[in-house]
Structures are given as C-alpha cells and as structure tokens.
C-alpha cells in the first residue's frame, strides 16, 4: 500500500500519472490504492493535465489520487475496517475506504471516462452506489439488482463517462443499514468542463454523519434509528473538526452532504449566501434566493456560495441544538432549579467524588475538566479566545482573513478584533423605566380580588 504521506511527498505530476503505480500493480492492471489515517484537512490536489478547475478541500480528509491509463482516469477504493479519531480523546472502530471514514473525495471533470476499482477487505460482501450520478444501470451499484455483490477479497471495476458536473456521493447498497452506520461513505465531485463556469476561489466539502457509541466503547450500535449520541462532520466532532480558512474577497463554495438518519438545518453566521447546487445539478441564477440557514434532507446534498467580504471567526453549525453536543444521554433528568445540597451529602457517603450539576443549567460543564470513562468525549467542550465555547458535535468556524495566500489552508488562529468591535460589559446598567398612568387626580387602577365561591366581580377604576 502507498501511504498518503508518500503521495504528499511527490510531485503533483506523479500523483496524476501511472508513474505512481508499482510494476506489480501495472502487471495486474489495477493501480495501487493510496491510504491514510490522517485526521486533518490535506492540501487540495491540483490538476496537472486536462481542463483546469479549482480543486476541493475536504474537511479532515483528502482527495484520492488517480492514474491515467490511455484515456481512462483510474481510481482504486478499498473497503475496509478503519480506526477514526472522532476528536482528541476518542477513537471509533468504523468501516470506511482507504484508511479513513468517510473515504477520500473523488474528483474528476465532466466528460472524463473513469474506471474505479473497488477491493473488498470487509468481513462481508459490499457494493458501491454512485449517489445522484447519471450512468449505465449496471454500474449503479445496487447489490442483487444491478450487479453481483463484491465478496470479501474480490475486486470489481466500475466504468462510466461523467455526463454532468456537480456534487455527488458514494456509499454501499449492500447491507446498507450496517455499512453506512459503520461510516462507509464519501464525496464525488465532478467539475465543469468549462473552467470559467461556476468558478470559485475556495471550495470546501464535508459529509454529515452520526453514530451511537456508548461511553467507554469503540463500536457504533448499528441498530439505532433515532437516539444517536455523536453528530459529526466527516466523522469528526467538535473540537476535532477543521476550521475553514478563507481569504478576504474570495468567492467561497461550501458543499455539504447528509447521510444521517435525520435532516439538518445548517446555519452560518455573518453572511447571507445563495444555494447554487443540489445533487440534481446547478441552480439557475434566477432560481436562487438569499439564506442564512439551509435544511439538508436525508440523502441529499446542498452547495452554497458567498463572497468573503467580512473578516472574523464565523460559526458554522447544525441548528438542532442537541446536534452541537457530544455523548448525549437521552434519559437524563432536568435538575434546573432543584436544590441538591442534601442529595449530594447522601450520595457522597457512597461516592466521595460525586458532584451535583445542572441545577443552574449546563454551562458549567463546558469549562470543567471532569474525569470520564476512557474513549469518551465531554458533552460540551472546546475553548476560544474568550473562554469555553460549550459546543460539540456539528460545529466549526469559517475564518475569514486578509492577507492569506491563495492556496493557504493553514489555521490562521483566532481573529484579532479591531478596537471597539467586541461586545462589552456595562459597569452600571440604568434602572428600568416604569410606565405611569396620566395625571388625572385618580389612582391608575384598583382591583378587588374575589375568592373562589364568593359572588361578585371585580371593580376597576380609571
């Protein structure tokens, strides 16, 4: 196997050519499959031949290299068990592709002839469905319906011409409930043949997925339908999700796909944007409308665009509040307003380190480093320059900055606010004004309270 580190150490020309394939693999006719277990966003893979395009940056992910074999662009996916770090302090045992879950992003150009080899290293059969793409029926990847299943140890080839540009996904259509719950999915981006069509300066992609993993354990519960406790972007939870570095003035596209079991209202602070693409294709300019939140249905993709003209650290998150928390318990009682002093004394006789929490809300959990079971994330975590962020799950930050280089995707750190532009405490708030009745020489109002069972009404004077 060729590691991703090895690929990154070579020139882009080698990445996109048969030179990256060993003699053994060339003899077999199958390119070797690059792999990685890196958890951070890799530099976009620039095109070196064919039509020009702006490559995508995958949050906490990478783009799958290819080789040219005649006029075919060849890729190699390996379906296999993987270990994915959900966030620092927690790993999950998942299934994915080429060392990661989600698998690497596949990028190509409208009109390309692609041949995608899929090798199965799972303990059961699988297939790959190319979600939303126009292709021959026998290449659609539905096991038993359009093709035989790919059994463990087998390699199948999918061959088709990319008829339409846009944003698509790939995932199994074999034991789908289990395999998708285990993390098997990836992005497929087809760039327009015309380099000027829908051109942007920065193009980000990520998938929404969810898991139910008991605290202290590593394996998702694949039978869960509703009560998920980890909501993730590209199988990462905050604070493990990459930030999106953006140069001021750039036109930015963010592509989001939803392969969870529920919809997600994705909200971005600081900007009005327009939805410009769905899995069905590009949205005509006259059909777009300004938004700050887009609702992603299950099994759908949305891309939106904006011009980054306002510097700052702008939050990007799902607006279902429980989806921005980790390790959610679904049978936790509400203790807000409940006196727990006597309860704490009783419990500490059995558990000396017990602490009562939640009687004044849950914010205190965001700033306390409390002991937890191994391989468990805190429910609310992460710190910014002003203190605890009290977030988890589907949350990240779009960082718009002046002075970034065109292809610079490094985290620029926290925003330095110009003087006088940060909300501040007022030393002494003015007393609230009280509205009074006009001066008429009479009292404003007189009420006569009537007890139950007593006849009569009330008298009001003006």
For residue 89, being part of any structural domain is answered with yes
Is residue 14 included in any domain, yes or no? yes
Q: What is the DSSP secondary-structure string of 237-270?
A: -TTSSPPEEEETT-EEEEEEEE-SSS-EEEEESS
Q: What's the confidence (pLDDT) of residue 460?
A: 45
With contact defined as beta carbons under 8 Å apart, do 222 and 206 qualify? Answer: no
Domain membership of residue 224 as a residue range: 2-315
Which residue in 270, 319, 329 sits closest to 295, CA to CA? Answer: 319
DSSP states along 112-171: -EEEEEEEE-SSS-B--EEET----GGGS--BTTTB--B-TT-EEEEEEE--S-EEEEEE
The closest alpha carbon to 67, from 42, 100, 34, 102, belongs to 34
**So what's the pLDDT on residue 322?**
87
Chain centroid, CA 337 distance in Å: 35
**Residue 341: predicted pLDDT:** 64
Could you give the CA distance from residue 67 to residue 270 in angstroms, rounded to a whole number? 41
pLDDT at 388: 86
Residue 244 located in a structural domain:
yes
Which H or E run contains 276?
A: strand 273-278
Chain centroid to Cα 459, Å, comes to 62
Q: Given this model, what pLDDT does residue 1 score? A: 37
The number of domains in the chain is 1
Residue 264 lies in a domain: yes
Asked whether 258 and 298 are in contact (CB, 8 A), the reply is yes
401 in a structural domain: no
Question: pTM of the entire structure?
Answer: 0.81
The CATH number for 21's domain is: 2.60.40.420
Q: Is the residue at 135 inside a domain?
A: yes
Q: Which pLDDT does position 366 carry in this prediction?
A: 47
How far apart CA 235 and CA 211 sit, in angstroms, is: 9
pLDDT tens-place string over residues 410-455: 999 999 999 999 998 998 767 766 665 555 555 444 555 555 554 4
Q: Answer whether residue 243 is part of any domain.
A: yes
Which pLDDT score, from 0 to 100, does residue 459 have? 45
pLDDT at 38: 92
In a domain, 376, yes or no: no
Q: What are the 10-residue block averages of pLDDT along the chain, 462 residues in total?
A: 37 32 54 93 91 96 96 97 95 97 98 97 98 97 97 97 97 95 97 96 97 92 89 94 97 97 96 95 95 96 97 96 74 57 67 57 51 78 85 93 95 96 86 61 50 48 44
CA distance 244 to 448: 63
C-alpha 374/C-alpha 215 separation (Å) is: 8
In whole angstroms, how far apart are CA 118 and each of 147, 176, 185, 259?
13, 16, 13, 21
pLDDT value of residue 377: 84
């Amino acid at each position: 196997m060729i590691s991703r580190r090895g690929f990154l150490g070579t020139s882009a020309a080698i990445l996109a050519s048969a030179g990256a394939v060993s003699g053994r693999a060339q003899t077999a006719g199958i390119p070797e499959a690059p792999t990685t277990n890196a958890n951070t966003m890799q530099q976009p893979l620039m095109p070196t031949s064919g039509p020009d395009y702006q490559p995508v940056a995958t949050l906490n992910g990478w783009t799958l290299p290819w080789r040219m074999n005649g006029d075919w662009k060849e890729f190699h996916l390996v379906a296999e068990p993987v270990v994915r770090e959900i966030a620092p302090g927690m790993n999950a045992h998942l299934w994915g592709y080429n060392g990661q879950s989600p698998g690497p992003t596949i990028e190509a150009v409208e009109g390309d002839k692609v041949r995608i080899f899929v090798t199965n290293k799972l303990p059961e059969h699988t297939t790959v469905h190319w979600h939303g793409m126009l292709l021959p029926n026998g290449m659609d990847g539905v096991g038993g319906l359009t093709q035989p299943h790919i059994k463990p140890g087998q390699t199948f080839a999918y061959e088709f011409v990319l008829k339409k540009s846009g944003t698509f996904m790939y995932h199994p259509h074999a034991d789908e409930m289990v395999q998708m719950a285990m993390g098997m999915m990836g992005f497929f981006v087809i760039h327009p043949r015309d380099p000027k069509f829908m051109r942007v300066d920065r193009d980000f992609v990520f998938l929404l997925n969810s898991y139910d993993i008991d605290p202290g354990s590593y394996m998702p519960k694949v039978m869960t339908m509703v009560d998920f406790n980890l909501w993730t972007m590209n199988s990462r939870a905050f604070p493990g999700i990459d930030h999106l570095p953006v140069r001021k003035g750039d036109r930015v596209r963010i592509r989001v796909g939803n392969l969870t079991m529920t919809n997600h209202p994705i909200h971005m602070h600081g900007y009005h944007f327009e939805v410009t693409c769905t899995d069905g294709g590009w949205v005509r300019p006259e059909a777009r409308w300004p938004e700050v939140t887009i609702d992603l249905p299950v099994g759908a993709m949305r891309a939106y665009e904006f011009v980054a003209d306002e510097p700052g650290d702008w939050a990007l998150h799902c607006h279902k509040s429980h989806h921005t928390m980790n390790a959610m318990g679904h049978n936790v009682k509400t203790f807000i307003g409940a006196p727990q002093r006597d309860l704490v004394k009783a419990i500490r006789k059995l558990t000396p380190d017990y602490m009562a929490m939640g009687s004044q809300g849950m914010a205190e959990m965001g700033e306390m480093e409390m002991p937890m079971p191994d391989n468990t994330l805190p429910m609310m975590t992460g710190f910014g320059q002003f203190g605890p962020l009290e977030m988890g799950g589907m949350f990240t930050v779009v960082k718009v900055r002046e002075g970034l280089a065109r292809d610079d995707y490094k985290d620029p750190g926290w925003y330095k606010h110009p003087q006088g532009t940060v909300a501040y405490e007022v030393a002494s708030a003015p007393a609230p004004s009280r509205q009074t009745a006009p001066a008429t020489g009479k009292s404003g109002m007189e009420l006569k309270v009537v007890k139950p069972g007593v006849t009569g009404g009330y008298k009001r004077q003006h």
